[in-house]
Structure 1
Amino acid sequence: MSAESTERNAPTRYRVQPSIGLGVGIVIVYMAICFGIQLSSGIEYQDFFDTADNAYRTAVLSLAVCSVLLAAFVVWSRWDIMWRDPGRLAMSTLMRAILIMFVAAVVIRLAGLEWGDVPGDLLLAIACTSVLVGFAEEILFRGIFLRCMRTHGRPEGTAALWTAIAFGLFHLPNVFMGTGAAGLSQIVLAGLSGAVLYLWRRNYGYIIPAMIAHGLWDFSTFLEGNYGRDLVQVLTLLLTVAVAISALVVLIRLARNERNVVVTPHGVATVDAA
């Protein structure tokens, strides 16, 4: 019996079954609500963290609303498997090296901040934003969307690739919120960072490490723009590029090498490639 038929026939306690259509639909609804709230503020994307008031009116408010809605959906749908993988997936040396470089970039960025120049109220607002973005976007992509992509015996390499692509495209509205052409490069970098966040989940088998990593990365990034030292910004840029290139290599390898690895609610399995 194939992985697809096994998953379809195995009993689950879900109120609604995961599917690609449902995953895409949830992402679209999330984007409409989140970016709708941010657009209604009249504040351009690059100004979100100029003041604490800007941050609360844009990022914090939108992410808080979406976090509540996503949490409510997960509880209602009974998608408990979203929080952890049913089995361990293999990690290569390059995958682990990417996580080490990721941590190094965050540490260097935080160490190089002019902390004394950061207003206390803005620091609190950015911290709230980082916690919320780590929670909401990881539930959405490395939780709900990844689970939907894993349905019907779909290879893990394919699921990882499309989850990264979806995370990159998720940042497309920023182009129309003031980032302009620079926002196009953000889409590519976001997609590759999504691959790294997938590795955080893959390495530990739980979504919580990905949430923490995502929150810390954004916390350091939001602060670096206005309060980072020039030399540190250059070093973290080089590390970020190295992480992005390595993540691209990993995505390609996963798409090629994990065509017969599937993750179902009942375990990780190796099946005959069709």
Structure 2
Amino acid sequence: MWIALLAVLAFNLLRFATIDYNAVGLDVVATWLLAGLFIGFAEEVLTRGFVVKLLRKAGNRELVVAVVSGTVFAGLHAGNLLSGQSVFATAFQLIYTFAFGICMYLACRLTGRLIVPILLHASTDPSIFLLTAHPTEGPLTAIAGLGNIVVIIVGLLSLFFIRGRAAVLQPDTALETQR
């Protein structure tokens, strides 16, 4: 299950390594990083913090917890269809965000800390948006561009390895789990 965490981190680093920082400017990079932190915090507290805690407290198996939290996370992105995004792009985004949500669930479950998926998420959005708008030329950029596909594959395959039940979360141990 650690592969999910490492895949997200590796492709985030690859994307950051292939951005044309001269073209984008420090102010835009800093703004995206700050926005990524706020978005990562809000979405992860809701889906991995609140939803996971409620589902575990209700006694659900971890596979159910992972799928429901991933589905809620994907659902948060369905509204992009209303903003004019194409049906195809939105459908792909929903598949990606579901699989990414599974990876973030695993980051939370494996580390027992909500801060890990928050920081992974906070680096994912800016790295994707900045690379899309300001890529450099070269083979590394092409490899970095495969990150979304890899996350989808890893996230979906990870579902086959999620087992058991985690302990009901206590207020003082926020997201610590039994493995």
**Short-chain TM bin:** 0.7 to 0.9
Q: Which amino acid aligns with 1:265?
A: L
Change in CA separation of 1:152 and 1:98 when aligned onto 2, cut-off 3 Å: closer
Higher-RCO chain (CA-CA 8 Å, sequence separation at least 6): 2
Change in CA separation of 1:269 and 1:103 when aligned onto 2, cut-off 3 Å: closer
Unaligned runs of 5+ in 1: 1-94
Give the aligned CA root-mean-square deviation in angstroms. Answer: 2.0
1:201 alignment counterpart: 108
Deviations along 1:241-264, whole A, 9 cap, x unmatched? 22321211112432xx43xx2431
Q: Normalized against structure 2, the TM-score is what?
A: 0.87
Corresponding residue to 1:119 among 25, 47, 52: 25
State yes or no: 1:245 paired with 2:153: yes
Alignment of 1:193-272 (within 5 A): 193-229=100-136, 231-254=139-162, 257-258=163-164, 261-265=165-169
State yes or no: 1:158 paired with 2:78: no
SS of residue in 2 equivalent to 1:150? helix
CA distance in 1: counterparts of 2:83 and 2:100, whole angstroms: 21
Alignment of 1:35-46 (within 5 A): none
Alignment of 1:88-127 (within 5 A): 95-127=1-33
CA distance in 2: counterparts of 1:239 and 1:136, whole angstroms: 23
Q: Which amino acid aligns with 2:159?
A: L
Report the alpha carbon displacement of residue 268 of structure 1 after superposing the two structures with TM.
5.7
Change in CA separation of 1:269 and 1:233 when aligned onto 2, cut-off 3 Å: closer
CA distance in 2: counterparts of 1:102 and 1:115, whole angstroms: 21
CA distance in 2: counterparts of 1:269 and 1:200, whole angstroms: 14
SS of residue in 1 equivalent to 2:7? helix
Report the alpha carbon displacement of residue 235 of structure 1 after superposing the two structures with TM.
0.8
Deviations along 1:108-153, whole A, 9 cap, x unmatched? 1111110011133322321220110111111111101111111221
SS of residue in 1 equivalent to 2:145? helix
SS of residue in 2 equivalent to 1:263? coil
CA distance in 2: counterparts of 1:135 and 1:234, whole angstroms: 29
Q: Which amino acid aligns with 1:207?
A: L
CA distance in 2: counterparts of 1:188 and 1:268, whole angstroms: 27
Unaligned runs of 5+ in 2: 171-175
Corresponding residue pairs, total: 172
SS of residue in 2 equivalent to 1:264? coil
CA distance in 1: counterparts of 2:55 and 2:25, whole angstroms: 42
CA distance in 1: counterparts of 2:4 and 2:55, whole angstroms: 23
Change in CA separation of 1:200 and 1:262 when aligned onto 2, cut-off 3 Å: closer
Q: Which amino acid aligns with 2:169?
A: P
CA contact (8 A) 1:138 1:207 kept: yes
2:96 alignment counterpart: 189
CA contact (8 A) 1:156 1:263 kept: no
Report the alpha carbon displacement of residue 232 of structure 1 after superposing the two structures with TM.
3.7
CA distance in 2: counterparts of 1:252 and 1:204, whole angstroms: 19
CA contact (8 A) 2:108 2:117 kept: yes
